[in-house]
Structure 1
Amino acid sequence: MESTGAPTALPVAPGRWPLLGHTPSLLWQRFRFTLSLAGLGDVVKVYLGPLPTYVVTRPDLVHRILVTEGCKFDKGIMFDRFRPFFGNGIAMSNGPFHDSQRRLVQPAFHVKRIAGYAEVMTRVARSVAESWQPGQVVALDEAMQELSVKIVGQTLFATGLGRAAITEAQRSMPVVIKQGMVRALSPGFVGRLPIPANREFDQAIDRLRRIVLDVIAEGRAQQADQGDVLSMLLAATDDDTGEAMTDQQVYDEVVTLLTGGIETTALALSWMFHELARHPLIEQRWHEEIDGLGGRPVTYEDIPKLTYTNQIAREVLRRYPIWLLMRRTNTDVRLGDVTIPPSTEVTISPHALHHDPRYFPDPDRFDPDRWDPANLSPPPGAYVPFGDGGRKCIGNHFALAEIALAAAAIGSRWRLVAVPDKKVRVKVTGAAYPSQLPMTAVAR
C-alpha cells in the first residue's frame, strides 16, 4: 500500500566512501550488501561513485517498475556502460526502437520454434553425457558452460562458419560476461586503464565481432532459412516500414542472445546438480520422475510431464539469480514515500528479493516444494529471475526448456556426486558463479 502520510527522510546505505561512493562495498560485499538494504527501507539511496541510485526492496514497487509503470523507465547506467561492447540489442535498447526490435526477434522464440530447438538441446546434452566415464571427475561448471555455448550456437548458427563462431563464443563469452559487470559498476576511467583484465576484455570483444559479422555475411549470401535464429533475424522485416535489420542490428541481437543464453542456463544447470548432490531425497524423487520416461531421449512434448524437474529449476533460479537490474526514470515517478525525478537511476536486486524471508521462509534452504502448485505463489515482484513486463528476457521459455531437457538427458545416465574436501563457494559478478564445481560421474 502507498503511504498517505508526510514523506520520510530517504535512508542512505552505510559504507559510503569519498569519491567512490558505495562501489567498494558493492564489489567487495556483493550479496551481503544488497541483502542488508531491505532492513533500511523500501527505497534506499546508494551511490555508484558520485552518482546516486535508488535501490527498491519492496516487491509491489518492483512490479510497478518492471510491469505496470514500465513505460516510465528506460535501461540504466549499467546498460550504458555495456552498450559500447554489447551493442544496442533488445537487452540494451530503449523506447520505440526497443519495441520494434523485440517484435522482429520475437518469432524466433515462438513455441513452435522452441520445439524445434529442443532436439538440439537433447542431442548436445546426450553427447556431453556420453563423453564421460564412470568415476571421472568432471569440472561441471565448465562442462555446463560448454554445453550451453553449443546449444545456443547451434540454434543461432546453422551455417558452416557457424561452427567457428560457436568455438569463438566458447572462448570469449565467459571473459565478456564476467569482466563486463566489473566495468559496469566501476567509474568510467577504470575501463581505460592499461591492465590485463581490460586488454583481455577488449580482445575478446574484437574477436567475437569479427567472426559474428562473417557469419552474418555468409547468411545473407545464402538467402535461405536454415532453421536457425540467424535466418529469422536476417529475414525479419518491420511491419510499419517493411525494412529489414542492418548487419549492425543483427550483430547486436546475436550478441544479446549469446550473452543471455549462455550464462543463465549454464549456471542454472551447474547449481542444479550441485543442489541435487547435497539433497539425496530430492535427487531420488527427481530420478524417479525422469526414469518414468522409460529411458528414451526426452522431447519437447515431455516437458509438461517433468513437473518436479521444473520445480527444481524454479528453485535453482530463486537461489542463484542475477544480482542487479538497473533502470532510469524518464519522468517523475512516485515510489512509496519518494518522488523520483526524471533521469534518476533505480536499482533492483533479484537476489535480495529471492532471499527475503517475508516472501520465502528460510530462504537459504533449497526446497523445490515451494513451487508445488498447491502452495501459495510469492507476490508479484518477489520472484523475477528473467525480469518482468515488456522487457522480460525474450528467451525465458527457451532457457526453461533447455534446463529441463538437458538435466533430464544427463540425469537419466549419471548421478553427479560432490568431490570430498572441495569446498564450493559462490563467486559474484553479474550472477552467482561457483568458485569450483568438481563432481564425480557415477553411472546409474
Structure 2
Amino acid sequence: MNFPSTPVAPGRWPLLGHTPSLLRHRFGFTSSLADHGDLVRVYLGPVPAYMVTSPALIHQMLVTDGKKFDKGMLFDRFRPVWGNGIAISNGAFHARQRRLMQPAFHVKRIAGYADVMSEVARGMAGSWHAGQVVQVDQAMLEVSITVAGRTLFSTELGKAAIAEARRSLPVVIKQGMVRALSPGFVTHLPIPGNHQFDQAIQRLHGIVFDVIAEGRAQQEDRGDILSMLLATPDEDTGEPMTDQQVYDEVITLLTGSGETVMLAMSWFFHEIARHPALERRWHEEIDQFGGRPLTYEDLPKLRYTAMVCKEVLRRYPIWLLMRRTNTEVDLGGTLIPPRTEVAFSPHALHHDPRFHPDPYRFDPDRWDTSKTPPPPQGAYVPFSDGSRKCIGNHFALAEMAITTATIGSRWRLVPVPGRPVRIKVTGAAYPSQLPMTVEQRTV
C-alpha cells in the first residue's frame, strides 16, 4: 500500500510495527502523534494504518464522509464476543438497526426511563450507612446495569434477567475485552477466564432469549425498550427484527451502558471529592430539590451537574477508536484506498491544549458557553459523532445527572487516605481502585 508523503510515527519495531509503542505508552504515544501531522502512518503489527489527529479531519471521517467508513479491525475482534449489534454492525444493516431502535430513545421514552434512574439511585443511596467504605466503581456498575436492565425489561421474567445481568455482565465485560485483544487461539485454552466467560454468556443467552419469547407472546408495548424493539417493523420490509438481532442489541445496550455510564459516574465522584470548591457549588445546585425524587423535568435545572458530566467525559474518554474505509476517501488531500484502517484517539483530542486549554486541569466551567466558546467540531467526541454516534447518548447523560445528584443530595463520598487512584487503560479509562467513605450530609 502506498502512503505518499505521509509521515511515519517514530517507534516502529521490526515485524511488530507500532503495537509495542501503543501498548507500552498508550496515552503518551497517541498524544504525541499530532506533532507529526494531521495524518500519521502507523503499523499495527504488519498492517499499515493512518492515525488522524486533526479535529477537522475527524469530523470529516465521522460526519461529512461517515458513510465511506465502516468499523475497523478492533471491532472485528469484538463481533464474536458481543454479536452484530448496533455498535459493531456496518452498512445498510447498521442503518436499518439504528432506524428500528431510534424510537426507543425518543425524548418521551427517556422521560419515563428517568423515573427508573431516580428510583435505582435512591435504592443504592438507601443501602449505605455513614462510615461505610464503598467501592464506588463497583456500586456504579451495579446501578448502571440495573438501570439498563429495568429499562430493557419490565416483566417478572425481566427481573430474573436483570439479576443475571448483574451477576454475569462484569465477567463478560472484563473477559470480553481480554478476548478481543488476544490472539484467536487464546479463546480455546482451558483457563479460568475462558470458563467464566463461556458460562456467563450461556446464562445471559438463556435468560434473554426467554424474555424475548415472552415478549413475542404478549405482543404489547409495556413501555420498555425490549417491547419496542420487538414491535417496530422495518419501514421498507415491514418485518421486525429477528430474535437473534434483538438479542445482539440487548447485549450491546447492556454492556455499553454498563461500562460507559459506570466509568463516568465513578470518575464524577472521584473528581468532585478532589475539588472542595466544585463540590460546594454542586451541592448548592442539587440542594434546591430538597432531597425529593428527581424527574426528567428537573434536568434543565441541573446545569452545573451537566457541566461536571461533560468535563468528566472530556477528561476520561475512550482511548482509541478505529474505522475502515469502504471506498476511496480524500482525507486532507491524501487519497486513502478502500479497506484501509484509520484510527483516532478521543483521549488525545480531549487533552490537546490547542482545543482544551490546560487540559489536565479538571474545570467544568470550560463548558459554560456564556463565557467560553465551545471547542471546534471533532475536538470533543465522547459519544463519537455522525451516523455512528452512540444512540443512547441522551439516555447516558440523563442517567449520569440523575444518579449523581440523587446520591449527592444524601451523602458525601470521601477518598480513603492511603489508597491512591490511578488510571488503568484497556480500551476505556478504569480506576485502579475507588474506595470512598460515605459521610452523611446535612442540608
TM-score by length of 1: 0.95
The 5-angstrom pairing of residues 216-235 of structure 1 reads: 216-235=212-231
Task: Decide which of 414, 420, 424 is 1:423's aligned counterpart.
Answer: 420
1:250-278 residue CA offsets vs partner (Å, 9 max, x unmatched): 00110111121111111111000000000
Worse overlay, 180-189 or 210-219: 180-189
2:377 is matched with 380
Are 2:174 and 1:173 aligned?
Answer: no
Contact 1:77 1:345 in 2 (8 A): yes
1:194-233 residue CA offsets vs partner (Å, 9 max, x unmatched): 4433343333323322221121112212222221100101
1:79-105 residue CA offsets vs partner (Å, 9 max, x unmatched): 111112211111111111111111110
The alpha-carbon deviation at position 193 of structure 1 amounts to 4.2
Task: Decide which of 218, 237, 252 is 1:256's aligned counterpart.
Answer: 252
Query: Closer, same or farther in 2 for the Cα pair 1:202/1:49, shift >3 Å?
Result: farther
The alpha-carbon deviation at position 439 of structure 1 amounts to 0.4
2:106 is matched with 110
The alpha-carbon deviation at position 192 of structure 1 amounts to 4.1
Query: Closer, same or farther in 2 for the Cα pair 1:198/1:42, shift >3 Å?
Result: farther
SS in 1 for 2:289: coil
Task: Decide which of 160, 163, 166 is 1:164's aligned counterpart.
Answer: 160
1:337-371 residue CA offsets vs partner (Å, 9 max, x unmatched): 42210000111111111011110111110000000
Aligned counterparts of 2:37 and 2:179: Cα–Cα separation in 1: 28
Contact 2:264 2:316 in 1 (8 A): yes
Contact 1:49 1:187 in 2 (8 A): no
Aligned counterparts of 2:66 and 2:183: Cα–Cα separation in 1: 27
Are 2:372 and 1:402 aligned?
Answer: no
SS in 1 for 2:209: helix
1:57 is matched with 53
Contact 1:178 1:430 in 2 (8 A): no
SS in 2 for 1:292: helix
Q: Which amino acid is 1:110 matched to?
A: H
2:309 is matched with 313
Aligned counterparts of 2:239 and 2:277: Cα–Cα separation in 1: 55
1:439 is matched with 436
2:73 is matched with 77
Q: Which amino acid is 2:269 matched to?
A: F
The list of structure 1 runs, each at least 4 consecutive aligned residues, that deviate by more than 6 angstroms after superposition, is: none
Q: Which amino acid is 1:436 matched to?
A: Q
The 5-angstrom pairing of residues 291-310 of structure 1 reads: 291-310=287-306
Q: Which amino acid is 2:146 matched to?
A: K
Q: Which amino acid is 1:84 matched to?
A: P
5+ residue gaps, structure 1, are 1-6
Query: Closer, same or farther in 2 for the Cα pair 1:17/1:176, shift >3 Å?
Result: farther
Contact 1:324 1:350 in 2 (8 A): yes
1:221-246 residue CA offsets vs partner (Å, 9 max, x unmatched): 22222211001011110111110111
Q: Which amino acid is 2:138 matched to?
A: E
Contact 2:291 2:406 in 1 (8 A): no
5+ residue gaps, structure 2, are none
2:34 is matched with 38
1:286 is matched with 282
Q: Which amino acid is 1:283 matched to?
A: E
1:1-50 residue CA offsets vs partner (Å, 9 max, x unmatched): xxxxxx96322223333333333332332222222222222112222222
SS in 2 for 1:427: strand
Query: Closer, same or farther in 2 for the Cα pair 1:206/1:27, shift >3 Å?
Result: farther
Q: Which amino acid is 2:229 matched to?
A: L
Contact 2:272 2:279 in 1 (8 A): yes
1:215 is matched with 211
Worse overlay, 191-200 or 126-135: 191-200
Aligned counterparts of 2:103 and 2:97: Cα–Cα separation in 1: 11
The alpha-carbon deviation at position 114 of structure 1 amounts to 0.2
SS in 1 for 2:51: strand
TM-score by length of 2: 0.95
Are 2:131 and 1:126 aligned?
Answer: no
Q: Which amino acid is 1:293 matched to?
A: F
Are 2:313 and 1:328 aligned?
Answer: no
Contact 2:329 2:336 in 1 (8 A): yes
Aligned counterparts of 1:218 and 1:163: Cα–Cα separation in 2: 13
The alpha-carbon deviation at position 169 of structure 1 amounts to 1.8
Instruction: Give me the CA root mean square deviation.
Output: 1.6
1:4 is matched with none
Q: Which amino acid is 1:200 matched to?
A: Q
Worse overlay, 42-51 or 10-19: 10-19
Q: Which amino acid is 1:276 matched to?
A: I
SS in 1 for 2:424: strand
Instruction: Indicate the percent of aligned positions where both proteins have the same amino acid.
Output: 72
Aligned counterparts of 2:330 and 2:191: Cα–Cα separation in 1: 42
Worse overlay, 284-293 or 219-228: 219-228
The alpha-carbon deviation at position 52 of structure 1 amounts to 1.8
Q: Which amino acid is 2:46 matched to?
A: P
Query: Closer, same or farther in 2 for the Cα pair 1:9/1:59, shift >3 Å?
Result: same
Aligned counterparts of 1:194 and 1:38: Cα–Cα separation in 2: 43
Q: Which amino acid is 2:150 matched to?
A: Q
